[in-house]
Amino acid sequence: MRGITKAFPGVRALDDVDFTLHAGEVHALLGENGAGKSTLIKILTGALERDSGEIRLDGTSVDFQSTGEAQSHGVSTVYQEVNLIPAMSVTKNLALGPSEGWPGVISWRKARARARAKLARLNLDIDIEQPVGSYSVAVQQLVAIAHALDNETSVLVLDEPTASLDAQETATLFDIVRDLKQRGMAVVFITHFLDQVYEISDRISVLRNGGLVGSAMASDVSRKDLISMMIGRELGEVEAAYSGKASPQTGKEKLVAKGVGRRRTLKPFDLTLRAGEVVGLAGLLGSGRTELTKLVFGAIRADSGSLKVNGKEAGSHSPRRSLAAGIAFCPEDRKAEGLVGELSIRENIMLSIQSKQGWLRRLPRGQQEQIAAEMIKALAIATPDAEKPVRQLSGGNQQKVVLARALASRPDILLLDEPTRGIDVGAHAEIITLIRKLCSEGLALLVASSELDEVVAASDRVAVLRDREKIGEIVGGEIRRDNIIRVIAGDDDRQH
């Protein structure tokens, strides 16, 4: 790709970017949110039209009008948010898209055979007649990769493939990627996990603000250099953010859960959240982190135990009552549970505070704009204005909008489920800093995260989960990677 340029209204998304991909290599594409990674990929795969520049595939100039056309030329993509149809079986999902034989005629016998072959290539052994939605996100991700691959694929783009995978699954994926590489495939790998970049990549390119900062062999560039290339500031600041932890506090009890649980969801647990304290939730994927936060928020109804908020018994629990009681919640899956894509940033931010106010007492437009502007500034949401539909924002900025909505409702207790999922290093640090700052202002925080480093960096106390059960708490100075891992499973060897 040579001199690729793309402008959106108000933003120059890509400015004269060169990008070269060699057969048989894994090429990591890095950059902060809004750096232009997604745009570059979309242009490569025909999802967007470029304004200028040239794309050459095996020496010939190409101009893909659609992703289908790109795919027929061997360029396939697996996007960050899994694009499968959850209610349809694995076979049917894999049968979608270009097919052999008569158009519109599907032989299910052949489709099943093909589905099995595709999954076998990824060493994935699952029941192909089950709906895709019945599998974990990780398996769905692998099915999506299987869907993207066919015999002609020469370029495979993986957009944050590991964002929702645990260590084991990531390792499996990397084995597959190495295998594909051996077969001469060129793989573009977009991620925020620097460990993984070094683990799998041969070459690294970094984008920032729509421009190419640099491109180098992975062995030639250090982590520190890489991070500063990405965020354009000294790493010291980021480290400072991570090490800003205060000592454990013993603030006022804001939330006390006793024996709260739900059958088949999470075993009853006790948990106390105090003002000015961050409680981390650690555990593997599927250990019950999300379920715990949702039980506390009332998004999942508990069938046992009691919950006290600010000393008052919270009877029948629901998100509405929780908000009224001063609890706010940022869900993990921002697309499905976090944002209303068609609504503007302002409207999304207003939603919780307005439902707290009731429908009759609408906040005047001026006040709405003021709150939205404050939030955009405080969380450094990159947008020309607050009226932009939220679906047009990049992933990290969308996450910030979810956070902004929770904060706008002025909660005493804030529950964050994977607050940094799919967010780049810079924003990551910003959010961790923000969490610490909110905490120092007396907020009680519960942070569930699959990133152990994040839990370690942010928390004053860590609750550890395993197999849908809370199995322990770690406090203060004891909060270290190795300790947490030991609690989760003495010999479980986590990779990052």
Partner 1 sequence: MQSRAIWPLLALVLILIVAGLISPGFYEIRIVEGRLFGNLIDILYRAVPTALVALGMAVVIGTKGIDLSVGSIIAIVGAVIVWRIKMGDPHVAILFIALGAGILCGMWNGFLVAALGIQPIIATLILMVSGRGVGLLINQLYGGTDPSFESAFLQGLSTGSIWYIPTRLVLAAGIFAALWLLIRRTALGLFIEAVGGNAAASNLAGVNARLIVFFAYVLCGLLAAWAGIIMTADTHTSDPVSVGLYIELDAILAVVIGGGSLAGGRIYLGMTVIGALVIQSLTTATLISGLPPEYNLIIKALVVLTVLFLQSANARRAIHRLVYRRAS
Q: Which of 165/406 has CB closer to partner 1? A: 406
- Candidates 362, 410, 437, 480; binder of partner 1 (CB under 8 A) is 362
Q: Which of 91/322 has CB closer to partner 1? A: 322
In one letter, which amino acid is 220? D
Q: Alpha-carbon dihedral of residues 409, 413, 417, 422, nearest 10 degrees?
A: 50
Binding segment (CB under 8 A) for partner 1, from list 78-86, 157-165, 349-357, 419-427: 349-357
User: What sign does the CA torsion over 220, 225, 226, 229 have?
Assistant: negative
Q: Which of 337/469 has CB closer to partner 1? A: 337
Backbone angles phi, psi at 289, to 5 degrees: -60, -55
Least separation in angstroms between CB 351 and partner 1: 4
Least separation in angstroms between CB 22 and partner 1: 34
- Candidates 199, 337, 374, 473; binder of partner 1 (CB under 8 A) is 337
CA nearest to 135, candidates 143, 113, 481: 143
Q: Cα separations (Å) of 18 from 30, 38, 212, 391, 424?
A: 14, 15, 7, 27, 22
Q: Tell me how many residues contact partner 1 (CB under 8 A).
A: 33
* Residue 355 near residue 323 (C-beta atoms within 8 A): yes
Say how far apart CA 471 and CA 473 lie, in whole Å: 7
What is the separation of C-alpha 291 from the centre of its chain, rounded to a whole number of angstroms?
17
Is 339 a binding residue for partner 1 by CB under 8 A? The answer is yes
Is 341 a binding residue for partner 1 by CB under 8 A? The answer is yes
Draw the binding track, 395-424, toward partner 1 (x: CB under 8 A; -: no contact): ----------x---x---------------
The secondary element (H helix, E strand) that includes residue 294 is helix 289-297
DSSP E strand stretches across 333-469? 413-417, 444-448, 461-465
Is 388 a binding residue for partner 1 by CB under 8 A? The answer is no
Binding segment (CB under 8 A) for partner 1, from list 78-86, 319-327, 453-461, 464-472: 319-327
Say how far apart CA 489 and CA 282 lie, in whole Å: 12
Least separation in angstroms between CB 348 and partner 1: 8
Is 64 a binding residue for partner 1 by CB under 8 A? The answer is no
- Candidates 357, 370, 440, 495; binder of partner 1 (CB under 8 A) is 357
Backbone angles phi, psi at 284, to 5 degrees: -75, 170
Least separation in angstroms between CB 53 and partner 1: 17
CA nearest to 425, candidates 134, 264, 226, 222: 226
Footprint of partner 1 (CB under 8 A): 297, 299, 319-320, 322-324, 329, 331, 336-343, 347, 350-352, 354-363, 405, 409
